[in-house]
Each structure stands twice: as C-alpha cells, then as structure tokens.
Structure 1
Amino acid sequence: MKVRLTTIAQWAALLTAAAVAVGGWLWLRSVPPKPVASTLPALTMALRAVPWEGGPAAYAGSAAAVQGGWTRPGFFPVGLWFASARTGREIALDRAAGINTYVELTDGSRPALLRQSGMTALTSRRLPGAGAETVGWLIADKADVWAGPGNGRWTGARGFDRPVCAPVLTACGYTVLRTLAARLPKGDRLRYASFGKGVAYWEDEAQAAKFVNGYTDVVAADVSWYGDANVCAEATRWLQLPAAQCRLAANYGATVERLRALDAADGRRQPVFAIIALSGLTPEQVGGAAMSALIHGARGIVYDAHGTRPGCQVDNVLRRACGKAVRRGVAELDGRIKRLAPVLNTQSYAYDFAPELDTMLKRHNGATYLFAMLGRGQAPGRHVLTVPSDLSASGRVEEVFEKRTIQADKAGHFTETFDAEHSYHVYRIAP
C-alpha cells in the first residue's frame, strides 16, 4: 500500500478507522476490578509458557555479543541513548547509575575507554578505534515516524526540515531501513532499530509489521507516555484511549506488547527493548515505566537522558545537577534490575494472580518470582493476589525489595497495597 504524504501528520490523518480496530486492539484491553471474597477457592499451578526470545540464547548467534558479555546469565541490557563517552569521568558516572550499554554515541566518543570500563555499544557507524565494545549497529531511529510506511525513494533527509521521500507525496520508511542496513559493515554484530508512534498506533498492523520484521536482531519501543505533550490527544484519536488512561506507566508495557505481537508475524522472534525518556519524570514514574515494560516482555531498557524541560535543558540529565533526583531513582532501579538479571533472563510464564493487575511469573534456582503492578485504569489501593496452593506449602511470600514477608492464607490469598498507578511489587516464593 502506497501512502501519499507531505508530512507525518498528513499521512497519519489518512489512516482509516481500521487502524483503531486492528492496530489498537491491545490498548483497549482493560479488565475492571473484580471483588474477591475471602472464600475464594485455592488454585493449583497451571502455567503457560510465554513465547520466549530473551535471555542469553537471544544473542548467542552473534560472536560480538558473546564477546561483549551479552550471553552471561547475569547481564541485562541497560542502555543510554545518544550520549557522549569522551572521558573516563563520563563513563564512570554512567556506570555508577547502572548503565552498561550506549545506544549511539556522539562524535568524539572514545571506544577504547568503553573497552577499558567493560561497557558495550551499538552505533550507527564504526567509530575511530572501535573494537570489541561495539556489539551491534544502529540502523535507524524512528524511521516509521519521519519517513512513513512505504517504499518510495529516500532523499537522504531525516526529520521534518525538508522532504524526506520523493516524489514528495510518498512514504519511504522501508526504503530507509533497507538502505541504511545495506551500508552497515558486514559481519555478525547485532542490528538494532527503534520505532515510535508510527508502529505504536499511527499505522495498521500490516504496515507496522513491515518495519519490525526483516531488518533487525533487536528492536525498541519509543513512545513517551509521561512526557510527550501530544501523545494523549493522539492516543484518544487513534486508539480511543480515554484521556485519564494516557499518562500511565502501564502504557509503556502496552507499547512493548504491541511490538512483540507485530514481531511474531514472521515467525522469527527478536528481543524488544523499551526506551524511557527521562526529562520531567519523577523517579517513581521511571520505575513504573520500566517495570511495566519488563512485565510485558521487554528484554532491555534504554534511557533517553536529554533534558527538554525549562531549568534542565541539558545534554544528559543523569550527569547534571538538575537531574539529581531522577539519577538517584535510575541508579536504584538499575541496581534492582542487575540484582534480578538472572531471573529476568529466564522463561516467563502467564498466570492470573489477580485479574486487575499486570503480572509476570519467573522461576529461578528453585524459587518462583512474581512481578505485579496495576493494569491500565485500575485504582490504587488494596488488591488480593492468589498464590497457587501447590506453589508454597508454607504460604510465606517475600517482597524482595521491601524486605518483608507476607503470610498467605490456606487458600493462597494475600492482600497487597499499590499506592499509585506506577507502584510495583516483586515477590519471591520459596518452595
């Protein structure tokens, strides 16, 4: 299908209501809370394995990724988008915040310093001095947004300052990906691309799936649900998402799930990362966005640390005084991700612990881990979770990060409080 356009807004306006019915099904799923009586029956374990493309095996086919440590069970990608790495101090600051990977680097960055620090990178070109630290190549950033879904001729322009496609009234995003992918060095390094609102909701499933499949080994979802000034009006229009359900952590997970569903179309699954723009966010919002993404299957987290808000318009909020609070939150979150990396790198299972919650279940070293947070549109407060009766005879459930133990009743029920829409809990249940 060829879409005629001069700007993204024009081709987006031409999409029919079918984009809502087909491409937006994921966003409209919202289960109202169900009252839970104290006499609920005990449940036995009936797990369903979630389609799995994560963990060390996802990168085992790339010698560069293996050499870079990406196949270690304790490694989970935590990236920084388009940052500088010119000095040891810059890299040390990032490492202290829990960053282990750079996704694109500015001119003047020094790959040798990354190697010395044990950091890795995915870049759009081979930088001077590049070596083992470069585990992959960036094909393009959000070509779905600035070039649109089509095979027109690409002028070489990017963004909206001059015509991107020729003739002017065509889209050329697929051409962009093919062209840039062909220019990358040959070899076994990973190939990565990120996608934004086009794949998330402007385009129908067929158009969006062509972006996600066929070019890459890793893809990333990039929609700033907390920070983008326009996202709520657009989501209301294209997805019929109520405005009150827009600026929620749960939507970061829904975006990841959208890409995972599209990625499955060709029968070849690849890891999906989540990009979180930090500017203007509270530490709690960052944590909620990341946890929602992880619960919905994100295999990596990437932070966009460019500051865009008044008083903090800086190149990297994680390195500047105005970003002190969010840096503390990111460092704490990344410490949690590092601690949980061996768990996150294992098979995921679907189990309905509570209909109104988004949950994920993992098993590691004989223990079961349950990740839980509010589903979209669900009210904060107390919620009842059900642990299968054959999972823990003792009924003891440990909240991993709050260092407290919860006693489930004989039927496996326990009550937990979720203070805000971005609140989450991680539980460990020993046999």
Structure 2
Amino acid sequence: MGLVLAACTAPDDRSRIEAAPVVAIQDLPKVPWEGGPDYWKKFAKADGAGWDDPSFFPIAIWYNGISSDAEVQYDKDHGINTYMGMSDTTPYSIFEANGVFWIGGKLNDTFTEQSRNWVGSFLDDEVDGRFTPEAGRQHLQALASSTPQGFFKYANFTQMVISHYMPAADAQQFVNNYTDAVSVDMYWYTIPYCGLRPYTNAHLVAVSEQNCRTASSYGKTMKALRMQDAADGKLQPLWQFVENLNGGPGEGPFVANITAGQLQGAVMNSIINEARGIVYFNQSLSGPCGGGSVLRLSQVMTGFCGAEQMEAVKTVNSRIRELAPVINTQSYDFSLGNQLDTMLKIREGYAYIFSMVDGSSTPGARNFKLPDGITTNQAEVLFENRTVPVDAAGSFTDTFESEYTYHIYKVKL
C-alpha cells in the first residue's frame, strides 16, 4: 500500500505560507492594438501633421462643405478636426489656415503632395456593397496603387464585411489588403434593419433583436470589424461611422432620427470597444428633418430641427478631446463587472474606467470591482460633478438610467 500524505499543514509551518501575490494593476494583460498615436509615424503626411500627438484623436465629418474660416471654426467648436467629401472648388488654404485635415483626393491645383494638412487618401466608400468581390478587389488595388507616397489609405465598408452575408475570405481581403485605416457604416438606430421580420441576425458578433437599436450594437460593430482585421495577424486603426441625425436611405422607409442621448451613447460605446476615430454621417436623407449638411444647417438656420443632436455632437466630442491622452493609451484586458461594457486605461497615476451596460442586458444598477491593488474610498465620475463610494474590497455600485447612458470614472492608484 502506498503512503498517503495528509492534506494539512503543521501549525509550526503556517508562518512559511505566503499569501498569493497581488498582481499590480500595471501588470494586467493589455488588449491588442495597432500602436496608438505611434502608428501614424509610419506615414510621412500624418506624422508631419501631428497625428502622432497623444492629445490628437481623429474626429471626421462626411460631406460638410467649408467655404470660410467662420464655418471651419464652427465645426471645430463642435469637435471636428478632419473632413471627408468636399466640393472640388474648396481651396487647400482653408484647411491649413484653420488647423484641420483632409482625407481624400486632390480637389484642385491648390493641393500638392507637400500640402501639410492633406494627410490621407480615401480609396472609396462601400465597395463591398457595390461590386462583386473580384471586381471590388481589382478596384481597390488600382486605387491603393495610385496613392501618393506618404499618405495613409482609408476605406469604408458596409455591414457585409462583418457578417455571414459575405464569405469570410472575401470580407477579410477587403478589410486587410488595401488600407491603413478602415471603418464600417451601420446605423443601428435609424435604418430599417432592426425592424425587418423575421429578424435574422447574421453578424459575426451577435446583435439580439431586443437590443438591436441600442448603443451596444455600435460597439459590436467594432468587435466584429476587429475580428476581420486581425485575421491577417496585423492591426490597423478602426474608425466608426455614427449618424448625426439619420442614416436611413433616401428612398425610405423613415425609421427615426437618432436622439441626442443615443448619439452620445453610440460614439462612446464605439470608443469603449476600441474605436480609434469617429466619423459623423452628415446627411439626413429621409424623414421630416432632412438636409445635405446637417452640421452646417445647425449653424445657419434658427430653430433647426437637428439642433439638439448637434449640441450632443459638441458635448461628446469635447469629452473625447479632453480625454484623448487617456483614450490614446493601450487598454487593459480586465472585466470590471457583469452585464457591463467597460474599458480600463491608466495614465499618470490614475485609472480611468469607461462604462456602459452591455448588449445582453437592460439599464439599471451595476456592480463594479476594481483590480486588486487599488486602495481608494471613492471614484470621481467625470463630467457629472459627483463621486461614488468604493468599499474596502474595491467594489462600488452605480446606476445607468438608459441603454445609452455612459459613466467615466477616475480613480487614484
């Protein structure tokens, strides 16, 4: 018979038992990323324009014409620093004079390859939805090959590339083979998709029928796009399109305009899910509050029907701009609680927790648990002029009134 050792420790050995080591918060694993601001150092134009500055976060707008300094300053006051889509009569000087950037082709002869604020080439929009995969690849390859040296290449795709509607090999080639930054436009709040019956979700990251029209769906778009982007073992910045009023097709049917709260929630959930840039869809093509340039209408039209949404753009963009040095750091891979969508950052002696409810749950109270090693008795709730108490175990509770509510906590390490 073999000797069985008792599973106990003699009393005089207890002093030699050491407690399990506490992992310092700084030693937690980090989420994969493309490199943050340093990524832009690979591109002479973006690097020379200061895109590698940790305080810079790309906030672009789609087709919002500029013809005067006053118009650009209004846009900048709303947080816009980059433009896509523009009249070919727009002079380059207006970009440089106002410190804003252009992503696109050469609009006219005032643009040269030395134009500092012309930083990127916009290859095309929604090629996956307008071409066969083979024709689309040929089209994008021709555009990518003609991009001048030093410019980064950017393209936007439809939901096809993040769904089972397209074979994975085709979708991944679209996402990975031609660009240095990429996005998808999927306007969950305002297009008919969520109301189709029967509801058949075919996205790589499932979106439930119950929570289809929620901010969490925008974050799931980012997760699915990252899955496709990571397929080749290399990462690029992922940007997110958000409708600043209505993303529905011009032929209808009209579903709704995004509300001010929904707009902020869509933007913030995208950032929580590692969006490296935001692009605002600036047209409203259906419904009672239409317009080809929504932000500009809010500047020139008294009582404009989209004024509340444009104020939300201003608010959320100002918060992104203020927190850009934090957002531009690599996130830590740590879950702070159940039924939560969170992002954990550390900068200059503070932990920052960006949080919303996740897409499998309804709003209400949520319990948070800080990583081990943080000893604090309160967390500051940024932009809300309040704090929440933290107990000795590093736990605290807060309430999310709506699916689009977000809270950002700052905790001293």
The question of a shared fold, defined as TM-score above 0.5 by the shorter chain, is answered with yes
Q: 1:82·1:102 contact (CA, 8 Å) conserved in 2? A: yes
Equivalence map 1:8-407=2 (5 Å): 45=25, 47-130=28-111, 131-148=115-132, 150-151=133-134, 172-184=135-147, 186-201=148-163, 202-233=165-196, 236-239=200-203, 241-279=207-245, 280-320=257-297, 321-391=304-374, 393-407=375-389
Q: 1:52 to 1:329 in 2, by over 3 A?
A: same
Q: Does 1:415 align with 2:397?
A: yes
RMSD over aligned Cα atoms: 1.9
**What is the CA–CA distance in structure 2 between the aligned matches of 1:44 and 1:63, rounded to whole Å?**
38
Give unmatched runs, 5+ long, in structure 1.
1-41, 152-171
Deviation at 1:43, TM superposition (A): 9.6
| Greater CA drift, 247-256 or 236-245 | 236-245
User: What TM-score do you get using the length of structure 2 for normalisation?
Assistant: 0.85
Q: 2:382·2:408 contact (CA, 8 Å) conserved in 1? A: yes
Deviation at 1:180, TM superposition (A): 2.0
Q: Tell me the SS of whatever aligns to 1:349.
A: coil
**What is the CA–CA distance in structure 1 between the aligned matches of 2:96 and 2:81, rounded to whole Å?**
11
Aligned letter for 2:160? G
Deviations along 1:11-43, whole A, 9 cap, x unmatched? xxxxxxxxxxxxxxxxxxxxxxxxxxxxxxx99
Deviation at 1:238, TM superposition (A): 2.5
Q: 1:43·1:387 contact (CA, 8 Å) conserved in 2? A: no
Q: 1:371·1:427 contact (CA, 8 Å) conserved in 2? A: yes
Q: Tell me the SS of whatever aligns to 2:392.
A: coil
Q: 2:157·2:183 contact (CA, 8 Å) conserved in 1? A: yes
Deviation at 1:56, TM superposition (A): 1.3
Q: 1:76·1:345 contact (CA, 8 Å) conserved in 2? A: yes
Deviation at 1:427, TM superposition (A): 0.5
Q: 1:44 to 1:115 in 2, by over 3 A?
A: closer
Aligned partner of 2:301 in structure 1 is none
Q: Tell me the SS of whatever aligns to 2:313.
A: helix
Number of residue pairs matched by the alignment: 367
Deviations along 1:192-239, whole A, 9 cap, x unmatched? 001112112222322211101111111012111111123553962524
Q: Tell me the SS of whatever aligns to 2:145.
A: helix
Deviation at 1:358, TM superposition (A): 0.7
Structure number with the bigger relative contact order (C-alpha 8 A, sep ≥ 6) is: 1
**What is the CA–CA distance in structure 1 between the aligned matches of 2:190 and 2:296, rounded to whole Å?**
20
Q: 1:115·1:133 contact (CA, 8 Å) conserved in 2? A: yes
Q: Tell me the SS of whatever aligns to 1:180.
A: helix
Deviation at 1:181, TM superposition (A): 1.9
Deviations along 1:225-270, whole A, 9 cap, x unmatched? 1111235539625247442221111111111111111111112211
Deviations along 1:362-403, whole A, 9 cap, x unmatched? 111111111110110311111111112411x22221111112
Q: Tell me the SS of whatever aligns to 2:42.
A: coil
**What is the CA–CA distance in structure 2 between the aligned matches of 1:54 and 1:255, rounded to whole Å?**
21
Aligned letter for 1:187? Q
**What is the CA–CA distance in structure 2 between the aligned matches of 1:188 and 1:43, rounded to whole Å?**
42
**What is the CA–CA distance in structure 1 between the aligned matches of 2:320 and 2:79, rounded to whole Å?**
9
Query: 1:424 aligned to 402, 406, 409, which one?
Result: 406
Q: Tell me the SS of whatever aligns to 1:139.
A: strand
Deviation at 1:126, TM superposition (A): 4.7
Q: 1:114·1:120 contact (CA, 8 Å) conserved in 2? A: yes
| Greater CA drift, 227-236 or 289-298 | 227-236
Deviation at 1:146, TM superposition (A): 1.3
**What is the CA–CA distance in structure 2 between the aligned matches of 1:299 and 1:350, rounded to whole Å?**
17
Give unmatched runs, 5+ long, in structure 2.
1-21, 246-256, 298-303
| Greater CA drift, 377-386 or 335-344 | 377-386
**What is the CA–CA distance in structure 2 between the aligned matches of 1:401 and 1:241, rounded to whole Å?**
30
Aligned partner of 2:253 in structure 1 is none
User: What TM-score do you get using the length of structure 1 for normalisation?
Assistant: 0.81
**What is the CA–CA distance in structure 2 between the aligned matches of 1:198 and 1:231, rounded to whole Å?**
15
